[in-house]
Amino acid sequence: MMENKFMKNKKGQYIIELNKKDISTIFIDEFGFTHNEMSPFNDKLNKYAKGSQTITSEAKGLIKDKIFIEASKTLANPYLLITTRLGGGTFNFDEIKIYKAKNSDLLVALSETPNNSYYIQVFDDYNSYIKWWVESYASKNDETVANFIPPKVKLEELLFMLHTIDYYKRLTYQNLLDYKTQTPLLAKFTDFSENMNKSIKSRDIRWLLPAFIAMTPGIAKYNLDINVEDVKVLTTQNFIGNKKDPETNENMMAFGESSLIMGLEFMRTWMLCAGFEIKILINDKTKEIDRFFIAPTALTNHFIRLEDSDDNKCMVNHQAYTIDQLSVKMQEIFEASVDQKPTSKFCSKCSTPLSENAKFCIKCGNKS
């Protein structure tokens, strides 16, 4: 028989398992909570008739727990929602939603289990969450490395660069399988572009490009418009160049310094990635605040921040962060998000809510 449990894991984090069937009785009958549209249980609670179910013994034990009570308040009326996805490389896909209420510092993470229940993980505040996340998943390297994708580039251009990194891995593996030693690695431009189409459609998160698309929540909203001009960034940033095939004299694509270094880095040391989307409920409307993607490797933490631009397009800012830089940047983003107050002021460029006396947009830097 399934039981509601609250338990501490090895790292001292507070984790509770909550049966889905107990949610309505706990939230409505026992706690009498109101709930808002951002609550993960909003639909369920809306459909529940008060008193129509009997509270289980498991739930009776749970409702006395102080931490569970505070976490439930947050889940009933959150104003901040962080959707985070983890996976890619050698990891399976997982999605966790994290909630925060206005009058509480707690961050409450919610993930579904296969057992018709939820795991609820409670963090004291966003700093605790960031510390846990960085310790669990970030690259521990504290040396800086070169950033071969300096800011800013179009989202479409980034996709080409990610595919070039994947393609280096692909050709290296192909040579291994064919017992070939081709130096330098050469490819046909047509093969490269055809493979990119397949890669995007595949959603195979073992490869970096599809992982980036699958792992970044909300990326589907951007009006992706890949065209020939976007390929130029590959030569501009020394990802590819032209070279004649010594045997056929055909004009081929060769990997440049940037893709050689990044290709090797990702081929040998990339294990997983994570995407984040932050939304707030402000003036009764849900607004997107931030969106970013992290791919740790042995060398660095690749941090890609997606910034809205005109016509539903996107510019990306890629940085290669040490572990400390990553922590600081995540703290900065979370702090800016949790400090959002009801406001009538929004950025004229990206619609991010701003504080009344803000001179610049915290997201895109536009003067307000």
Partner 1 sequence: MGNPFTKKEREDLLSKFFDLTNKSEEIMNKIDNVNSVEPTEALTKNLSAINKELGELWTSYKDGVPFKNLSKCPFTGELLTHSLDINGLNGLWWNTDLPTRPEENLPKTYFAMSGAMKLNTPIESFPFLCATGPEVPFVLPRLLQYTQMKAVISSTTVGKHIVYFIFYYADPMIYNIERVNDYASNSYSYVNTNNEIKTWTSYENIKDFDLKSWIENGKLLWIFPEDEDLILHSDVSRCPYLNLEGSKNNKYIQNEKIWSGKNIDIKEYFANEDTSGENTTNTKNNSEEIDQDILKKAIKYMSEGGL
Site residues, partner 1 (CB under 8 A): 142-148, 150-152, 236-238, 256-258, 315, 317, 319-320, 322, 324-325, 328, 332, 360, 365
Q: Token pair for residue 22?
A: 């107990």
Residue recorded with tokens 């431009």 = 189
Min dist. Cβ of residue 87 to partner 1 (A):
27
Min dist. Cβ of residue 140 to partner 1 (A):
14
β 14-19/117-123 pair status: antiparallel
Q: Which is nearer to partner 1, 144 or 312 (CB)?
A: 144
Q: Which is nearer to partner 1, 348 or 366 (CB)?
A: 366
Per-residue 3-state assignment (H helix, E strand, C coil) for 12-74: CCEEEEEEHHHHHHHHHHHCCCCCCCCCCCHHHHHHCCCCCCCCCHHHHHHCCCHHHHHHHHH
Q: Which is nearer to partner 1, 45 or 145 (CB)?
A: 145
Min dist. Cβ of residue 241 to partner 1 (A):
10
Q: Which is nearer to partner 1, 86 or 316 (CB)?
A: 316
3-state DSSP assignment of residue 112 = strand
Min dist. Cβ of residue 322 to partner 1 (A):
6
Provide the greatest CA pair distance for the chain: 80
Q: Which is nearer to partner 1, 131 or 152 (CB)?
A: 152
Min dist. Cβ of residue 116 to partner 1 (A):
45
Q: Which is nearer to partner 1, 120 or 261 (CB)?
A: 261
Min dist. Cβ of residue 236 to partner 1 (A):
6
Among 133, 93, 109, 147, residue whose Cα is nearest residue 261: 147
Across-strand partners of 86? 94, 274
Residue 291 · residue 217 · CB < 8 Å: yes
